[in-house]
Amino acid sequence: RAASAEAILGHMAKAHARHSNFLLNVAPDRQGRFEASSIKTLAEIGKQWKTRADK
């Protein structure tokens, strides 16, 4: 089960505050493609992370 974008952003913020890396483990399927839901979540994370960084 995949975590929500908000939950992942919370983990990323904690890692960032600790000057640590945070690994997003998103694996492709057998055809080398990512699931649409994973792409949507990653896009949302990128959008929100950029918005937070711009503040």
Can you give the residue ranges of every domain in the chain? Answer: 5-53
pLDDT reported for residue 54: 75
C-beta separation of 12 from 50 below 8 A:
no
pLDDT digits (tens, 9 = 90+) for 2-25: 899 999 999 999 999 999 999 999
DSSP 30: T
Backbone torsion region of residue 28, taken as left when φ is above 0, otherwise alpha when ψ lies between -120 and 50, otherwise beta:
beta
pLDDT reported for residue 52: 76
Q: Output the six-digit token pair for 50.
A: 């950029």
